[in-house]
Chains A and B, each alone.
Chain A
Amino acid sequence: MKTPAPPAILLLALLLSGPGGVRAQPKSEQSLSLSGGLYAASGFGTNFYTSGRYDYFIPGGHYFVEGSLGVGSLQSKVIGSVTKARIFTSDNLVTYEFTFAYDYAPGGALPFFMFGVGGVREGQETHFAGVIGLGKRIPLPGFLGSNALGFRYDIRDQVLSQRINNGDPFIVHNIVATLGLQIYF
């Protein structure tokens, strides 16, 4: 005599399998995305940040490589108004990253994990950074009459060694959180 599956198991199966058919990634090899969000530069405050990303999906869909370029600002009200100090030659922030990602469930609920390296250019100073992060790609079939569009979010930690005014170097964690639109091709 078969034992009926407990309702909790059925519910869990429905939750995990349900989005799969809807969120299945288009059969594409590449994508471009434009994201916007916040960049929290350790010690310099949080500012708006914009990023463009290129992804290449290795067949199978679980792995992809990504190159990205982002721009932001290092403006800090605290440093500007309290100390009147100018630490960098300008407030411009430019970052570029080269990362490798693993997506266990491209159509499921789990986020992808990524790691890599990046360059963080603060004013005229450039720092080599390690990058780790999480994110999620959510294709939007039928959105704007296209099956090639998707939504994505990313949270990343850029870990780098920083030195201010020839002091001792110290490790900082710059946190980046972005939302974006992705187009597959």
Chain B
Amino acid sequence: MSAFCNIRPAILAAALLCAPAAPLRSQDTPVKPPAETPHVPLINLNESVAFEVCPHTGMMGGSGTFGLKLLMTYSSFSLELAGEQVIGHTANLYPISINAVLNLATHGRLIPYGAVGAGLWMTVPVNALGAETVSTLGINFGGGARYFITRSFGVRLEAKQYFTSISDPRGLKNNLLFFQEFSIGATFLFH
């Protein structure tokens, strides 16, 4: 009996040392890490067909421009209908074109793109008595970027090169004309 009394403190000490181990072992069971929330990009052009309306302004060959572009986009490809007014001193130019746009990104805020297209150019003289509207065919190519601030609104920058051929009034030869355009505008996206 006395021997048991002598070892009782040692048993108690051993029990105390072992006791904390039991609840700790309960954590040995594998615990799944919290599931990561999937990153949802602000803009995802792969989701569905998207439509954009882009009013813009800029400069073409030293003249101010205003225009409106309508886009139908699915993934990397957009079909664009563009109309503009180029305000000149002696004439106003109205290029209307259909363009194919290749989006170089389909996710995120920044969407760079390249574009190529063709259309009709109408030159309407101002204050020139007897002068008539001249219509020619033209092609264009260029590139730019759209940066979306919200899911439905962004800004758009673009640079383009235009070509058209105009024959002189006597029809003796054709003049190939080159124009550069730089534009800035807004874009409104609808799904």
Contacts and interface: CB of A to CB of B under 8 A. Distances in A.
Contacts of A29: 152
Interface in A155-185: 163, 166, 169
Interface of B is mostly: strand
Contact of A126 (B57, B92, B150): B92
On chain B, which size bracket covers the interface? 10 to 19
A125 B88 CA distance: 9
Contacts of B153: 56, 58
B87 interface: yes
Interface in B64-88: 64, 66, 85, 87
Contacts of B173: none
Interface of A is mostly: strand
Contacts of A59: 149-150
A98 interface: yes
B92 A117 contact: no
A67 B185 CA distance: 11
Contact of A128 (B56, B87, B149, B185): B87
Given A65-B186, A96-B66, A126-B92, A58 B150 contact: yes
Interface of A: 29, 56, 58-59, 65, 67, 96, 98, 116-117, 119, 124-128, 163, 166, 169
13 contacts: A58-B150, A58-B153, A98-B56, A116-B57, A117-B57, A117-B66, A119-B64, A125-B126, A125-B127, A126-B87, A126-B92, A128-B64, A163-B89
Interface of B: 55-57, 63-64, 66, 85, 87, 89, 92, 126-127, 149-150, 152-153, 185-186, 188
List 3 A-B pairs, minimum CB-CB distance, nearest first.
A128-B64, A128-B87, A117-B57
